Amino acid sequence: MCLQEMSEELDLKMEKYLRGGAANLEVLQDKKLKGQLAHRENLYGKSAKAAAKFEKWLMPSEGGYLEAEGPVEKTWRFKQEDIGQAVDISSARNQYDVVLPELGPYTMDFSSSGQYMAVAGRKGHLAIVDMKNFEVRREFQVRETVRDVVFLDHQLLFAAAQKKYTYIYSPEGIEIHCLKDHGTVLRLQYLKNHFILASINKFGHLHYQDVSTGASKSYRTGLGRTDVMRVNTVNGVVALGHSGGTVTMWNPNSSAPLVKMLCHHGPVSALAFHPNGHLMATAGKERRIKLWDLRKYEVLQTLPGHANTLDFSQKGLLARGTCSFAEILSGTEHYSRYMNHSMVKGYQIKNLLFRPYEDVLGIGHSMGWSSILVPGSGEPNFDSWVANPFETRKQRREKEVHLLLDKLPPETIMLDPSKIGTVKPVRNKEKPTKEEREAEMEAAIEDVKGNITLKNKTKGRNKPSKRAKKKQEIITKVKRPFLEQQMREPQLSRKKQKVSEEDELPKSLQRFTRKKAAT
Amino acid sequence: MKVKVISRSTDEFTRERSKDLQRVFRNYDPNLRPQEKAVEYVRALNAAKLDKIFARPFIGAMDGHIDAISCMAKNPNNLKGIFSGSMDGDIRLWDIASRRTVSQFLGHQGAVRGLTASTDGRVLVSCGTDCTVRLWNVPVATLKESYESSDNSVKPLEVYVWKNAFWAVDHQWDGVYFATAGAQVDIWNHNRSQPVRSFEWGTDTVISVRFNPGEPNLLATSASDRSITLYDLRMSSPTRKLIMQTKTNSICWNPMEPMNFTAANEDSNCYSYDARKLDEARMVHKDHVSAVMDIDYSPTGREFVTGSYDRTVRIFQFNGGHSREIYHTQRMQRVFCVKFSCDASYIISGSDDTNLRLWKAKASEQMGVLLPRERKKHDYHEAVKNRYKHLPEVKRILRHRHLPLPIYKAAALRRTMTEAARKKEERRKAHSAPGSISTRPLRKRRIITEVE
């Protein structure tokens, strides 16, 4: 019994690693190919099983959780102070408020391993914080408006969207590049695998720039000014939320959006993608938050409430922030209230961001930035080769080389990235041939002929000749649609013939061909 | 309230001392690796490109002979040694590692036509057009100075004179007999001056002979009457004969599937046969544009190498219709003999221009001792290449080979000819009564009869 349970649990875990079901090999005619594919499927199964076993037995840490005991307790009633007292000291250090009233509101970005944080105050305050020991690595003042900041994942560079241009800074705070052709940028996003920095400027121009080669592309969205932009990390598609209530999705290869969906009756105020790429959350100014299934482009759930900012955590918790209030929702299909956090009255939340690989939510607001504990939000087990929170300098350098080697071309940004490496499906069969159509007609006639039943009519109207005539009528009625279609087809081909006739004639004789009246 | 949050202590996740290895943690969750398929595809593409960059198969030429190389023999007991015989009667033992002659075997008056070494590697058997079979003691390469001694010529152990000129010789894989081919097939013993027995079927000259690696008493020969014949030493007469439309220049058995053999044919194709079922070939290996002169299987049995009159050496998969690889140099003339080395990693070709050439069996393989990390990387590259080899971009890079112009043109010409023949056949079939003309597959078409 116990063994069976264990195998069932393993099967559940395996599903994730199988990345979809096996192909149907039974329809294949080619035995050799069938054998090869069967062998490969077998290998996939084995590796998925090994990975599932690894997950079950060998993972070093377990995920966080917050559970209520008894029917009266609710998870959303717990205050941050309660949680802080219940957890260990090193975790409780993650609850803090940094009050910098002059330079706010603040926005922030975490590096992909959560090791560093870049914060930017609207009034020109830029800082890099090492999250391991909460040490400010570098801090400087650019003396102009800073609208957004984003980490570029190599060499710890970061980009800041400033008053007029976007700048790229080294971790020491030295300006490396000034990206003038982006214009006045409102929002920045970085596509890690493609080395692409995407920006939206105040004229609604979407700009892509490859930070390793410098190649750039710009598209007019034509939908007005917006500062709602997010990247779907699963496929690299950039989504923009517009003031008309539409959400558009873009890739750098096409000047028109891949998807344009009307999400709200009012401006879209925030947007976020679930890390599995299938779920999108949008918030509208008309007090609605909607969760969308991106495989079907359907609303899964509509929640009431405003949101200035939305963010999904690695484990799928959704955070929304409005005014001085942050709410965290949880669930898989159906999202419901999980935790609340109220800041001091008067603080305006600008930005919410979950810290990767930690149970921490960073809040950037008008009076500085804060950090709260959200148990169960982060991925407990990191992969040293993907993102390592304990990375040394040597490891980071080596990883940068590998990242550059695996740099993806912009063509790999598409709505369904699993299409890469597959062949086009066979086209549907073209129109039926003449013989096939005739056969179809014959079959229809035979079908009718077999079961013609005529009513017995009154005397004089039931003569054999009349009956035969009636039968013939029925048959012609059946034939009619087929014949009509046939009539339509040859007309086309006759037209074609005429044209070709003209071409085929020797030049000297072409003048005798019938000319069209119009020309 | 039950609460737990992730908390990692730095000690647990970093190394204790600076001499320790860095600790590595894995999490195979697909959600952590977005766009993994695209990344894999890019890696496959890069691996294919790297493959092209590192493809340098030619290692070096071994010169010393003063006439065309006619035959070669591997020494089953010594990985580094290879024997070669030339048209002027010179036989040499080469050290592949240093690419120098170790010793010369002088004595043949005419061309050396066949060379083979006994299973233990101690005796070399040679035969030639001077109607003699000579047995030689192979010098044992133990000490380095023996290689460098001035007098490195070897005297024959035995000289057996016979009635006719010889065309080929092959030693049993496991036993004391060897077979020579000439006017008839003769079976010899090491210490008898006359053949133990002789086989004859027809009057034409037998031009090649090979013993079966699995069944020591079975041998296959090809003759200039376009036939391939199978013999069994335990029987008094030849067992089976297959007549094709063109002559077979050489035969090689698959060492891992000893019922199968591949015949190098004059019509520039190689035909793989199952010895139990000779009415059709198992596979036709096309790509050469002129007569295939010699063939040798890799000890792994997964691929074989062919040398051709069109001055190229090609490597085929044992079950692949087209070649995996083509080797050519500007100076290499018509190739008369090729051998796979006993460790399946080198190829030696002997050609008309009196040189032996040493090639890598895998053009872009990294030679020498590999670190485990390097080997892992190579394996990974191989796997991703294999996974995406059907996609156009990867396929184009992997398949592209630079060909000498004459061969490129000849191949194009052959393609047009076969295409024209196919079309003609198709039209003839379309305009005849249904069923009156039957197309035979290429696997059967070149076979005339099978005689028991």
Asked whether the beta carbons of A294 and A263 are under 8 A apart, the reply is no
Q: Can you list the positions of beta strands (E) in A25-95?
A: 65-67
First to last CA, chain B: 90
Residue of A360, A358, A359, A365 whose CA lies nearest to A342: A365
Q: Please indicate whether, in this complex, the C-beta atoms of B27 and A66 are within 8 angstroms of each other.
A: no
**Per-residue pLDDT, A460:** 79
Nearest to A384 among B3, B25, B391 (CB): B25
Contacts of B35 in chain A (CB under 8 A): 193, 234-236, 408, 412, 417
Contacts of A418 in chain B (CB under 8 A): 37
User: What pLDDT digit, counting tens, does each position of A113-159 carry?
Assistant: 999 999 999 999 999 999 988 999 999 999 999 999 999 977 789 99
User: A499 pLDDT band (50/70/90 cuts)?
Assistant: low
d(CA A76, CA A83): 11
Asked whether the beta carbons of A28 and A34 are under 8 A apart, the reply is yes
By C-alpha distance, the chain A residue nearest B15 is A390
By C-alpha distance, the chain B residue nearest A52 is B28
Contacts of A381 in chain B (CB under 8 A): 25, 27, 29
Q: Please indicate whether, in this complex, the C-beta atoms of B42 and A132 are within 8 angstroms of each other.
A: no
Q: Count of A–B CB contacts within 8 Å?
A: 142
Contacts of A54 in chain B (CB under 8 A): 26, 28
User: What pLDDT digit, counting tens, does each position of B423-447 carry?
Assistant: 999 999 999 998 898 888 999 999 9
Question: Packing angle between helix B36-53 and helix B392-399, nearest 10 degrees?
Answer: 10
Peptide bond preceding A432 in cis form (omega within 30 of 0): no
Contacts of B40 in chain A (CB under 8 A): 421
Long-range contacts of B311-319 (CB under 8 A, 24+ apart): B311/B335, B311/B351, B311/B404, B311/B407, B312/B288, B312/B404, B312/B407, B313/B338, B313/B347, B313/B349, B313/B359, B314/B287, B314/B288, B315/B347, B315/B361, B316/B270, B316/B285, B316/B287, B318/B254, B318/B257, B318/B260, B318/B262, B318/B272, B319/B283
By C-alpha distance, the chain A residue nearest B11 is A390
User: What pLDDT digit, counting tens, does each position of A176-198 carry?
Assistant: 999 999 999 999 999 999 999 99
By C-alpha distance, the chain B residue nearest A36 is B387
Task: Give the predicted TM-score (pTM) of the model.
Answer: 0.84
What is the distance of C-alpha A484 from the center of its chain?
Answer: 48
Contacts of A275 in chain B (CB under 8 A): 31
**Per-residue pLDDT, A519:** 45
Q: Dmax over Cα atoms in chain A, in whole Å?
A: 110
Residue A505 DSSP symbol: S
d(CA B200, CA B185): 7
How, if at all, do strands B185-189 and A268-273 pair? Answer: unpaired
Structure tokens that stand for B18 in this block: 């600076």
What is the arithmetic mean of pLDDT over A489-495?
58
SS3 A23: coil
Nearest to B7 among A68, A69, A90 (CB): A90
Structure tokens that stand for B36 in this block: 């993994």
By C-alpha distance, the chain B residue nearest A410 is B38
d(CA A465, CA A488): 33
By C-alpha distance, the chain B residue nearest A80 is B3
Q: Mutate one of B20, B27, B37, B317 to test the A interface: name it (highest A CB count within 10 A).
A: B27
Q: Please indicate whether, in this complex, the C-beta atoms of B35 and A62 are within 8 angstroms of each other.
A: no
User: A491 pLDDT band (50/70/90 cuts)?
Assistant: low
Long-range contacts of B434-441 (CB under 8 A, 24+ apart): B441/B280
Give kind and range of the element (H or E) at residue B113. strand B112-117
DSSP string, A155-214: TT-EEEEESSSEEEE-TTS-EEEEEGGG-SEEEEEEETTTTEEEEEETTSEEEEEETTT-
User: A502 pLDDT band (50/70/90 cuts)?
Assistant: low
CA angle, residues B15, B21, B25, in degrees to nearest 5: 70
Residues of B with CB under 8 A from a CB of A: 1-10, 12-14, 22-35, 37-43, 46, 387-388, 390-391
Radius of gyration from C-alpha coordinates of chain A: 33
Q: Please indicate whether, in this complex, the C-beta atoms of B3 and A90 are within 8 angstroms of each other.
A: no
Asked whether the beta carbons of A76 and A66 are under 8 A apart, the reply is no
User: A164 pLDDT band (50/70/90 cuts)?
Assistant: very high
By C-alpha distance, the chain A residue nearest B3 is A66
Which domains can be identified in chain B, with CATH numbers?
Answer: 58-364 (2.130.10.10)
Which domains can be identified in chain A, with CATH numbers?
Answer: 2-57 (no CATH), 75-419 (2.130.10.10), 443-512 (no CATH)
**Per-residue pLDDT, B141:** 62
Nearest to B1 among A16, A73, A423 (CB): A73
A126 beta partners: A120, A140
What is the arithmetic mean of pLDDT over A8-20?
87
Asked whether the beta carbons of B332 and B311 are under 8 A apart, the reply is yes
User: What pLDDT digit, counting tens, does each position of A406-444 carry?
Assistant: 999 999 999 998 888 887 777 766 677 778 888 888 888
B137 beta partners: B123
Contacts of A420 in chain B (CB under 8 A): 37-38, 41
Buried b (16+ CB within 10 A) or exposed e, A484-505: eeeeeeeeeeeeeeeeeeeeee
User: What pLDDT digit, counting tens, does each position of A287-321 carry?
Assistant: 999 999 999 999 999 999 999 999 999 999 999 99
Beta carbons within 8 Å of A442's beta carbon, 6+ residues apart:
none
Contacts of A16 in chain B (CB under 8 A): 29-30
Q: Look at residue A10 and tell me whether its pLDDT is greater than 90.
A: no
Residue A18 DSSP symbol: H
Asked whether the beta carbons of B278 and B239 are under 8 A apart, the reply is no
By C-alpha distance, the chain B residue nearest A379 is B6
User: What pLDDT digit, counting tens, does each position of A246-298 carry?
Assistant: 999 999 999 999 999 999 999 999 999 999 999 999 999 999 999 999 999 99
Residue of B22, B172, B57, B312 whose CA lies nearest to A384: B22
Structure tokens that stand for A449 in this block: 């002929």
In the sheet with A96-99, reading across from the earlier edge strand, the strands are: A96-99, A368-373, A360-365, A349-355
Asked whether the beta carbons of A204 and A223 are under 8 A apart, the reply is yes
Contacts of A71 in chain B (CB under 8 A): none
Share of chain A above pLDDT 90, in %: 65
Q: What is the mean pLDDT of chain B?
A: 92
User: What pLDDT digit, counting tens, does each position of A378-396 carry?
Assistant: 999 999 999 999 999 899 9
Q: Look at residue A333 and tell me whether its pLDDT is greater than 90.
A: no
Contacts of B25 in chain A (CB under 8 A): 60, 381-384, 388
Q: Please indicate whether, in this complex, the C-beta atoms of B42 and A64 are within 8 angstroms of each other.
A: no
Asked whether the beta carbons of A240 and A208 are under 8 A apart, the reply is no
What is the arithmetic mean of pLDDT over A216-240?
94
d(CA A362, CA A129): 13
Share of chain B above pLDDT 90, in %: 80
Q: Please indicate whether, in this complex, the C-beta atoms of A235 and B35 are within 8 angstroms of each other.
A: yes
- The number of beta carbons lying within 10 Å of the beta carbon of residue A434 is 11
The alpha-carbon gap from A205 to the nearest alpha carbon of chain B, in Å, equals: 26
Residues of chain B with pLDDT under 50: 143
First to last CA, chain A: 87
* 3-state helix, strand and coil shares in percent for chain A, rounded to the nearest 5: 30, 30, 40
d(CA A240, CA A230): 7
Asked whether the beta carbons of A294 and A279 are under 8 A apart, the reply is yes
